[in-house]
Amino acid sequence: MRIQLFFIAFFLFPVLHLSAQSSNEPQCVSTETEQWNRENQAAFQQFKNSLNYPAWRMNTTPIIVPVVFHVVNNDIYVSQVATDAALLAMINRLNIYFAKQNADTSTIPVAFQLLAAASSISFCLAATDPVGNSTTGIVRVPSSHGPFYPTQDNELTSTALGGDDPWPYIQYVNIYICALDPGHLGFASHGHAAVSYIALSGTTLTHEMGHVFGLSHTWGFTPYTCSDDDGIADTPKEYGSTTGTPTYPLYDACTTTGDGIMYMNLMDYAQQRTMFTIEQVALMEYTLTTNSDYIAMTSTNNCQTVGVESVFSSSIPLYPNPAHENFTINITGELKIYDMTGRLVKEQTVNGKQETVNCKLNAGIYCVKVTAGTKQFTQKLVIE
Protein backbone atom coordinates (compact mmCIF):
# COMPACT_ATOMS: atom_id res chain seq x y z
CA MET A 1 0.00 0.00 0.00
CA ARG A 2 1.45 3.32 -0.95
CA ILE A 3 2.33 5.50 1.98
CA GLN A 4 0.35 8.71 1.76
CA LEU A 5 2.63 10.78 3.94
CA PHE A 6 4.76 12.73 1.57
CA PHE A 7 7.26 14.57 3.67
CA ILE A 8 9.79 15.93 1.23
CA ALA A 9 13.22 16.44 2.71
CA PHE A 10 14.57 19.00 0.30
CA PHE A 11 18.18 18.88 -0.64
CA LEU A 12 18.46 22.46 -1.80
CA PHE A 13 22.01 22.89 -2.96
CA PRO A 14 22.81 25.80 -5.31
CA VAL A 15 25.33 24.42 -7.76
CA LEU A 16 27.62 27.46 -7.76
CA HIS A 17 27.21 28.46 -4.12
CA LEU A 18 30.33 27.63 -2.16
CA SER A 19 30.25 29.84 0.93
CA ALA A 20 28.76 28.70 4.20
CA GLN A 21 25.77 30.32 5.90
CA SER A 22 24.96 33.30 3.73
CA SER A 23 21.59 34.71 2.71
CA ASN A 24 21.62 32.43 -0.34
CA GLU A 25 22.36 29.19 1.47
CA PRO A 26 20.18 26.10 0.96
CA GLN A 27 17.00 25.79 2.96
CA CYS A 28 14.71 22.97 4.04
CA VAL A 29 10.96 23.13 3.56
CA SER A 30 8.48 21.49 5.95
CA THR A 31 6.24 18.75 4.64
CA GLU A 32 4.81 15.56 6.02
CA THR A 33 7.83 13.30 5.56
CA GLU A 34 9.74 15.19 8.25
CA GLN A 35 6.89 14.41 10.62
CA TRP A 36 7.18 10.73 9.65
CA ASN A 37 10.91 10.88 10.36
CA ARG A 38 10.28 12.48 13.75
CA GLU A 39 7.77 9.80 14.70
CA ASN A 40 10.18 7.12 13.49
CA GLN A 41 13.02 8.63 15.55
CA ALA A 42 10.82 8.70 18.66
CA ALA A 43 9.97 5.02 18.18
CA PHE A 44 13.67 4.30 17.70
CA GLN A 45 14.53 5.98 21.00
CA GLN A 46 11.88 3.91 22.78
CA PHE A 47 13.32 0.80 21.14
CA LYS A 48 16.81 1.65 22.35
CA ASN A 49 15.57 2.22 25.88
CA SER A 50 13.63 -1.03 26.06
CA LEU A 51 16.02 -3.57 24.49
CA ASN A 52 19.67 -4.57 24.61
CA TYR A 53 20.48 -1.88 22.07
CA PRO A 54 24.28 -2.28 21.82
CA ALA A 55 23.94 -5.98 21.00
CA TRP A 56 21.22 -5.30 18.45
CA ARG A 57 23.17 -2.45 16.89
CA MET A 58 25.87 -4.73 15.54
CA ASN A 59 23.54 -6.05 12.87
CA THR A 60 25.39 -8.54 10.67
CA THR A 61 22.53 -9.76 8.51
CA PRO A 62 22.70 -8.07 5.10
CA ILE A 63 19.72 -5.83 4.35
CA ILE A 64 19.36 -5.75 0.57
CA VAL A 65 17.15 -3.10 -1.01
CA PRO A 66 15.81 -3.62 -4.57
CA VAL A 67 15.79 -0.41 -6.60
CA VAL A 68 14.05 0.72 -9.78
CA PHE A 69 15.19 3.83 -11.66
CA HIS A 70 12.56 5.98 -13.39
CA VAL A 71 14.34 8.13 -15.96
CA VAL A 72 11.86 10.90 -16.77
CA ASN A 73 13.06 12.58 -19.97
CA ASN A 74 11.75 16.08 -19.36
CA ASP A 75 14.93 17.64 -20.74
CA ILE A 76 16.92 16.74 -23.85
CA TYR A 77 20.02 16.12 -21.75
CA VAL A 78 18.49 13.65 -19.29
CA SER A 79 18.77 10.61 -21.55
CA GLN A 80 22.24 11.65 -22.70
CA VAL A 81 23.57 11.79 -19.15
CA ALA A 82 21.51 9.09 -17.41
CA THR A 83 22.92 6.13 -19.31
CA ASP A 84 22.63 2.59 -18.01
CA ALA A 85 26.31 2.73 -17.06
CA ALA A 86 25.80 5.96 -15.10
CA LEU A 87 22.89 4.46 -13.17
CA LEU A 88 24.85 1.30 -12.37
CA ALA A 89 27.64 3.52 -11.10
CA MET A 90 25.14 5.23 -8.78
CA ILE A 91 24.15 1.88 -7.27
CA ASN A 92 27.79 0.94 -6.80
CA ARG A 93 28.47 4.30 -5.15
CA LEU A 94 25.54 3.79 -2.77
CA ASN A 95 26.93 0.39 -1.78
CA ILE A 96 30.40 1.80 -1.22
CA TYR A 97 29.25 4.66 1.01
CA PHE A 98 26.75 2.63 3.00
CA ALA A 99 29.47 0.04 3.66
CA LYS A 100 31.99 2.76 4.59
CA GLN A 101 34.27 1.55 1.83
CA ASN A 102 34.74 5.03 0.32
CA ALA A 103 38.36 6.09 0.09
CA ASP A 104 37.67 9.58 1.44
CA THR A 105 36.96 8.25 4.94
CA SER A 106 40.67 8.92 5.43
CA THR A 107 39.82 12.65 5.47
CA ILE A 108 37.51 12.33 8.51
CA PRO A 109 39.03 14.27 11.42
CA VAL A 110 40.47 12.03 14.12
CA ALA A 111 37.91 13.32 16.62
CA PHE A 112 35.06 11.86 14.55
CA GLN A 113 36.69 8.71 13.13
CA LEU A 114 35.36 6.37 15.84
CA LEU A 115 31.82 7.60 15.14
CA ALA A 116 31.96 6.75 11.41
CA ALA A 117 30.05 3.52 10.84
CA ALA A 118 29.47 0.92 8.16
CA SER A 119 25.93 -0.31 7.67
CA SER A 120 24.58 -3.71 6.64
CA ILE A 121 22.48 -2.05 3.94
CA SER A 122 23.18 -2.64 0.25
CA PHE A 123 21.30 -1.93 -2.95
CA CYS A 124 20.61 -3.83 -6.16
CA LEU A 125 18.70 -3.27 -9.37
CA ALA A 126 15.37 -5.10 -9.30
CA ALA A 127 15.28 -8.32 -11.33
CA THR A 128 11.50 -8.56 -11.78
CA ASP A 129 8.76 -5.96 -12.22
CA PRO A 130 5.53 -5.82 -10.17
CA VAL A 131 3.81 -8.47 -12.31
CA GLY A 132 6.77 -10.86 -12.26
CA ASN A 133 8.35 -10.12 -15.65
CA SER A 134 12.10 -9.76 -15.99
CA THR A 135 13.34 -6.17 -15.89
CA THR A 136 16.57 -4.22 -16.12
CA GLY A 137 15.47 -2.18 -13.11
CA ILE A 138 15.51 0.93 -15.33
CA VAL A 139 12.36 2.51 -16.77
CA ARG A 140 12.61 5.34 -19.30
CA VAL A 141 9.61 7.54 -20.03
CA PRO A 142 9.14 10.63 -22.24
CA SER A 143 7.76 13.76 -20.62
CA SER A 144 6.76 17.24 -21.72
CA HIS A 145 6.78 18.47 -18.12
CA GLY A 146 9.16 21.30 -17.31
CA PRO A 147 11.72 21.03 -14.52
CA PHE A 148 10.14 19.50 -11.43
CA TYR A 149 10.01 21.40 -8.15
CA PRO A 150 10.06 19.43 -4.89
CA THR A 151 6.53 20.71 -4.29
CA GLN A 152 5.55 18.83 -7.46
CA ASP A 153 6.41 15.44 -6.02
CA ASN A 154 2.86 14.27 -6.76
CA GLU A 155 3.41 15.13 -10.43
CA LEU A 156 6.79 13.42 -10.66
CA THR A 157 5.24 10.23 -9.29
CA SER A 158 2.25 10.33 -11.69
CA THR A 159 2.32 9.22 -15.31
CA ALA A 160 -0.84 11.24 -15.98
CA LEU A 161 0.81 14.44 -14.70
CA GLY A 162 4.07 14.14 -16.65
CA GLY A 163 6.11 11.86 -14.42
CA ASP A 164 5.94 8.10 -13.92
CA ASP A 165 3.86 6.01 -11.54
CA PRO A 166 6.03 4.41 -8.85
CA TRP A 167 6.34 0.68 -8.52
CA PRO A 168 4.80 -0.60 -5.25
CA TYR A 169 6.62 0.80 -2.24
CA ILE A 170 6.37 -2.51 -0.42
CA GLN A 171 8.54 -4.09 -3.13
CA TYR A 172 10.94 -1.38 -4.35
CA VAL A 173 12.66 1.88 -3.58
CA ASN A 174 11.86 4.13 -6.55
CA ILE A 175 14.59 6.51 -7.71
CA TYR A 176 13.61 9.26 -10.15
CA ILE A 177 16.18 10.83 -12.45
CA CYS A 178 14.96 13.98 -14.19
CA ALA A 179 15.49 17.71 -14.64
CA LEU A 180 14.76 19.52 -11.38
CA ASP A 181 14.35 23.26 -11.08
CA PRO A 182 17.61 25.23 -10.83
CA GLY A 183 19.12 25.11 -7.37
CA HIS A 184 17.75 21.68 -6.42
CA LEU A 185 19.87 18.57 -6.74
CA GLY A 186 17.48 16.14 -5.10
CA PHE A 187 14.72 15.44 -2.63
CA ALA A 188 13.25 12.40 -0.94
CA SER A 189 10.05 11.00 0.48
CA HIS A 190 9.27 7.82 2.37
CA GLY A 191 9.77 5.16 -0.30
CA HIS A 192 11.32 7.17 -3.12
CA ALA A 193 13.92 9.77 -4.03
CA ALA A 194 14.53 12.16 -6.91
CA VAL A 195 17.92 13.26 -8.20
CA SER A 196 18.71 15.86 -10.85
CA TYR A 197 20.45 14.54 -13.94
CA ILE A 198 23.28 16.99 -13.23
CA ALA A 199 24.05 15.29 -9.88
CA LEU A 200 24.52 11.65 -10.82
CA SER A 201 28.20 11.35 -9.94
CA GLY A 202 28.30 12.76 -6.39
CA THR A 203 26.83 11.83 -3.02
CA THR A 204 23.40 13.37 -3.63
CA LEU A 205 21.68 9.98 -3.90
CA THR A 206 23.45 8.69 -0.76
CA HIS A 207 22.18 11.76 1.11
CA GLU A 208 18.64 11.24 -0.19
CA MET A 209 18.63 7.55 0.74
CA GLY A 210 19.41 8.68 4.28
CA HIS A 211 16.16 10.65 4.19
CA VAL A 212 14.25 7.71 2.70
CA PHE A 213 15.36 5.54 5.62
CA GLY A 214 14.43 8.05 8.31
CA LEU A 215 17.33 10.49 8.73
CA SER A 216 16.92 14.25 8.98
CA HIS A 217 19.53 16.83 8.11
CA THR A 218 22.15 17.23 10.82
CA TRP A 219 20.64 20.55 11.92
CA GLY A 220 17.15 19.07 12.21
CA PHE A 221 13.96 20.38 10.72
CA THR A 222 14.29 24.04 11.65
CA PRO A 223 17.63 25.69 10.80
CA TYR A 224 19.06 28.77 12.51
CA THR A 225 17.92 27.74 15.96
CA CYS A 226 19.66 25.66 18.57
CA SER A 227 16.35 24.40 19.94
CA ASP A 228 16.07 21.76 17.20
CA ASP A 229 18.34 18.96 16.06
CA ASP A 230 18.28 15.71 14.09
CA GLY A 231 17.35 13.43 16.98
CA ILE A 232 20.66 11.57 16.64
CA ALA A 233 22.78 11.29 19.79
CA ASP A 234 26.23 11.22 18.18
CA THR A 235 25.91 14.17 15.77
CA PRO A 236 26.73 17.58 17.29
CA LYS A 237 24.07 20.28 17.28
CA GLU A 238 24.28 22.43 14.17
CA TYR A 239 22.91 25.90 13.47
CA GLY A 240 22.27 25.30 9.79
CA SER A 241 23.65 23.71 6.64
CA THR A 242 27.35 23.81 5.82
CA THR A 243 28.42 24.19 2.21
CA GLY A 244 31.71 24.59 0.40
CA THR A 245 34.94 23.07 1.74
CA PRO A 246 35.27 23.96 5.43
CA THR A 247 38.23 22.91 7.56
CA TYR A 248 38.35 21.25 10.96
CA PRO A 249 37.44 22.37 13.53
CA LEU A 250 34.38 24.31 12.41
CA TYR A 251 32.20 26.03 14.99
CA ASP A 252 28.81 27.67 14.79
CA ALA A 253 26.23 29.28 17.07
CA CYS A 254 25.09 25.90 18.44
CA THR A 255 28.48 24.20 18.86
CA THR A 256 31.08 26.74 19.93
CA THR A 257 33.72 24.54 21.56
CA GLY A 258 35.26 21.09 21.46
CA ASP A 259 35.44 19.26 18.14
CA GLY A 260 32.96 21.55 16.42
CA ILE A 261 30.22 20.49 14.01
CA MET A 262 30.29 17.36 11.88
CA TYR A 263 30.33 19.09 8.49
CA MET A 264 31.63 15.89 6.83
CA ASN A 265 28.40 14.03 7.67
CA LEU A 266 26.49 12.72 4.68
CA MET A 267 23.33 14.45 5.92
CA ASP A 268 24.95 17.89 5.64
CA TYR A 269 25.80 19.74 2.40
CA ALA A 270 29.59 20.24 2.56
CA GLN A 271 31.59 18.98 -0.38
CA GLN A 272 33.66 16.71 1.88
CA ARG A 273 30.71 14.75 3.26
CA THR A 274 31.93 11.20 3.75
CA MET A 275 30.28 9.45 6.72
CA PHE A 276 27.22 8.21 8.54
CA THR A 277 27.53 7.85 12.32
CA ILE A 278 26.88 4.79 14.46
CA GLU A 279 23.51 6.17 15.57
CA GLN A 280 22.50 7.18 12.04
CA VAL A 281 23.25 3.68 10.78
CA ALA A 282 21.33 2.21 13.69
CA LEU A 283 18.28 4.34 12.87
CA MET A 284 18.35 3.39 9.18
CA GLU A 285 18.71 -0.32 10.00
CA TYR A 286 15.92 0.02 12.57
CA THR A 287 13.67 1.58 9.90
CA LEU A 288 14.37 -1.18 7.41
CA THR A 289 13.85 -3.98 9.92
CA THR A 290 10.74 -2.67 11.70
CA ASN A 291 8.71 -0.68 9.15
CA SER A 292 6.16 -2.99 7.52
CA ASP A 293 6.78 -1.71 4.00
CA TYR A 294 10.53 -2.10 4.20
CA ILE A 295 10.36 -5.52 5.88
CA ALA A 296 8.36 -6.84 2.93
CA MET A 297 10.75 -5.22 0.46
CA THR A 298 13.96 -6.54 1.95
CA SER A 299 12.63 -10.05 2.66
CA THR A 300 12.36 -10.92 -1.04
CA ASN A 301 15.19 -11.97 -3.31
CA ASN A 302 14.56 -9.58 -6.20
CA CYS A 303 18.06 -8.66 -7.28
CA GLN A 304 20.11 -8.76 -10.41
CA THR A 305 23.87 -8.56 -10.19
CA VAL A 306 24.88 -7.66 -13.73
CA GLY A 307 27.13 -4.63 -13.57
CA VAL A 308 26.61 -4.08 -9.84
CA GLU A 309 29.44 -4.73 -7.43
CA SER A 310 28.38 -6.91 -4.53
CA VAL A 311 29.32 -5.28 -1.23
CA PHE A 312 27.46 -7.61 1.10
CA SER A 313 27.07 -11.34 0.87
CA SER A 314 26.39 -14.23 3.20
CA SER A 315 27.74 -14.48 6.71
CA ILE A 316 31.21 -15.76 7.48
CA PRO A 317 31.70 -19.47 8.30
CA LEU A 318 33.46 -19.20 11.66
CA TYR A 319 33.36 -21.39 14.77
CA PRO A 320 33.05 -21.72 17.67
CA ASN A 321 30.74 -18.77 18.20
CA PRO A 322 30.62 -17.84 21.08
CA ALA A 323 34.40 -18.18 21.32
CA HIS A 324 37.04 -17.59 23.99
CA GLU A 325 40.48 -16.59 22.73
CA ASN A 326 40.48 -18.25 19.29
CA PHE A 327 38.11 -19.14 16.49
CA THR A 328 38.44 -20.93 13.15
CA ILE A 329 37.40 -19.32 9.91
CA ASN A 330 36.90 -20.75 6.40
CA ILE A 331 37.37 -17.85 4.00
CA THR A 332 40.09 -16.01 2.08
CA GLY A 333 40.42 -12.25 2.33
CA GLU A 334 41.25 -9.31 4.59
CA LEU A 335 39.74 -9.80 8.05
CA LYS A 336 38.88 -6.95 10.42
CA ILE A 337 37.23 -7.16 13.83
CA TYR A 338 35.39 -4.17 15.32
CA ASP A 339 34.09 -3.64 18.83
CA MET A 340 30.68 -2.17 19.68
CA THR A 341 31.91 1.41 19.30
CA GLY A 342 33.12 0.72 15.77
CA ARG A 343 36.78 0.67 16.84
CA LEU A 344 39.04 -1.64 14.84
CA VAL A 345 40.58 -4.10 17.33
CA LYS A 346 42.23 -6.66 15.03
CA GLU A 347 43.05 -7.15 11.39
CA GLN A 348 44.87 -9.84 9.46
CA THR A 349 44.90 -11.67 6.13
CA VAL A 350 43.16 -15.04 6.14
CA ASN A 351 44.02 -17.60 3.52
CA GLY A 352 41.34 -20.18 3.11
CA LYS A 353 40.20 -23.27 4.96
CA GLN A 354 40.46 -23.94 8.67
CA GLU A 355 42.52 -20.91 9.63
CA THR A 356 42.72 -20.14 13.33
CA VAL A 357 42.41 -16.52 14.40
CA ASN A 358 43.95 -15.63 17.75
CA CYS A 359 41.99 -12.66 19.02
CA LYS A 360 42.38 -12.55 22.84
CA LEU A 361 39.65 -9.94 23.19
CA ASN A 362 37.68 -8.86 26.22
CA ALA A 363 34.31 -10.53 26.68
CA GLY A 364 31.65 -8.87 24.57
CA ILE A 365 30.09 -8.64 21.13
CA TYR A 366 32.14 -7.88 18.03
CA CYS A 367 31.64 -7.56 14.31
CA VAL A 368 33.89 -9.61 12.02
CA LYS A 369 34.18 -8.35 8.46
CA VAL A 370 36.11 -10.00 5.64
CA THR A 371 36.66 -8.26 2.32
CA ALA A 372 37.22 -10.63 -0.59
CA GLY A 373 37.51 -8.78 -3.87
CA THR A 374 34.33 -6.75 -4.35
CA LYS A 375 32.41 -8.77 -1.75
CA GLN A 376 32.18 -8.08 1.95
CA PHE A 377 31.17 -10.78 4.43
CA THR A 378 30.03 -9.97 7.96
CA GLN A 379 29.35 -11.99 11.09
CA LYS A 380 28.59 -11.20 14.71
CA LEU A 381 31.16 -12.72 17.07
CA VAL A 382 30.56 -13.27 20.78
CA ILE A 383 33.60 -13.53 23.04
CA GLU A 384 32.96 -15.11 26.43
Q: What are phi and psi of 145, to 5 degrees?
A: -65, 145
DSSP string, 209-230: HHHHTTPPPTT-SS-S-TT---
- DSSP structure class, residue 232: -
| 52 and 118 co-located in one domain | yes
| 181 and 90 co-located in one domain | yes
Residue 300 domain flag: no
| 163 and 238 co-located in one domain | yes
Residue 150, Ramachandran bin (φ over 0: left; ψ between -120 and 50: alpha; else beta): alpha
- As a whole number of angstroms, the distance between CA 226 and CA 148 comes to 32
Q: What is the reported pLDDT for 13?
A: 35
| 212 and 345 co-located in one domain | no
Q: What is the reported pLDDT for 25?
A: 37
pTM of the model: 0.76
From 295, 327, 349, the end of a domain falls on: 295
Residue 2 domain flag: no
Residue 124 domain flag: yes
- DSSP structure class, residue 78: H
Contacts of 379 (CB under 8 A, 6+ apart): 60, 315, 316, 318, 321, 367, 368
CATH code, domain with 21: 3.40.390.10
**Do the beta carbons of residue 367 and residue 380 sit within 8 Å?**
yes
| 50 and 167 co-located in one domain | yes
Q: What is the reported pLDDT for 108?
A: 95
Closest of 177, 210, 183, 211 to residue 196, by C-alpha: 177
| 206 and 99 co-located in one domain | yes
Residue 307 domain flag: no
Residue 1 domain flag: no
| 206 and 333 co-located in one domain | no
**Residue numbers in the chain where pLDDT is lower than 50:** 1-32, 312-314
Domain that holds residue 205: 9-295
Q: What is the reported pLDDT for 41?
A: 77
Q: What is the reported pLDDT for 112?
A: 94
| 142 and 178 co-located in one domain | yes
CATH code, domain with 373: 2.60.40.3080
Model pLDDT for residues 136-148, shown as the tens digit of each residue: 999 999 999 999 9
Residue 147 domain flag: yes
| 326 and 289 co-located in one domain | no
**Sign, CA torsion 128/131/133/135:** negative
Q: What is the reported pLDDT for 163?
A: 97
The number of domains in the chain is 2
| 88 and 208 co-located in one domain | yes
From 295, 310, 328, the end of a domain falls on: 295
From 295, 330, 349, the end of a domain falls on: 295
| 286 and 326 co-located in one domain | no
Q: What is the reported pLDDT for 366?
A: 77
Residue 338 domain flag: yes
Residue 310 domain flag: no
Q: What is the reported pLDDT for 176?
A: 97
| 251 and 286 co-located in one domain | yes
DSSP string, 26-57: ------HHHHHHHHHHHHHHHHHHHTTHHHHH
